[in-house]
Amino acid sequence: MNRFVESFVGTFSGFAKATWVTLEITVASLLLASLIGLVFAFMKISDRGWLRLIANGYIGLIRGTPLIVQIMWLYFGITHFIVLSKFWAGVLALAIHSGAYIAEIFRGAIQSIDKGQMEAARSLGMSYGLAMRRIILPQAFKRAIPPLGNQFIIGLKDSSLVAFIGVSEIFSVSMSEAAATFRQLEFYSIAGLYYLALIVVFSLVLHRLEKRLDKGSR
């Protein structure tokens, strides 16, 4: 136990920097993923068949292949044509992956709103876009918060996979320390504690946001 505490304290600086990188990757990828998800959600509920076909193809491909394969394919594929840092290649791969799941979350939330509300808004002279922005999306967003929260937590944990393209985040540091000291269980346990702390903070923030939105709707 004493050695574990010593290792934790001794590597705190390195893990603290890696934790900040993990947060940057997670926040950047989830913001981009939310935008991607919203676009593909609208494509999936579109009246145009070719837009639905593209959306279904994207979602099916992403959900049908492992994330680590997508990270490797995007990193080595995109950087073959465009110079991207490891950080932004990882962000883009995570965003494209999470975007497919967020698209389904937004689609379900939008379609859960009574169609009569859209019809009523259109009868008052609102355009489809205006009615969607002012009437449908605010309600859909509130309903999407719980599943979005779960997806954001999954996205945080998934960020550990960018260690395999050389990004120095929490899991990458734990692998380096484990390789240098041959104390694998010890340093992977330390990494687990850092991830657990981040997830607890994420969960609390999302819970407070959900409660605030719930109070605002009363």
Residue 200 has pLDDT above 70, yes or no: yes
pLDDT of residue 158: 95
Contact 69, 4 (CB under 8 A): no
Residue 162 has pLDDT above 70, yes or no: yes
Which tokens sit at 151? 């997806």
No. of helices (H) and no. of strands (E), the chain: 10, 0
Residue 3 CA: distances (Å) to CA of 9, 25, 31, 198? 10, 31, 39, 24
Q: Say which CATH architecture domain 2-216 belongs to.
A: Orthogonal Bundle (1.10)
pLDDT of residue 201: 92
Residues 116-128 have pLDDT tens digits of: 888 888 888 888 8
Residues 174-193 have pLDDT tens digits of: 999 999 988 899 999 999 99
Residues 23-51 have pLDDT tens digits of: 999 999 999 999 999 999 999 999 898 99
Residue 98 has pLDDT above 80, yes or no: yes
Residues 83-94 have pLDDT tens digits of: 788 899 899 999
User: pTM of the full predicted structure?
Assistant: 0.90
**CA neighbours within 13 Å on the CB side: how many for 126?**
16
pLDDT of residue 218: 56
What is the average pLDDT score of the chain? 90
Domain boundaries, the chain: 2-216
Contact 25, 33 (CB under 8 A): no
Which tokens sit at 206? 């999302």
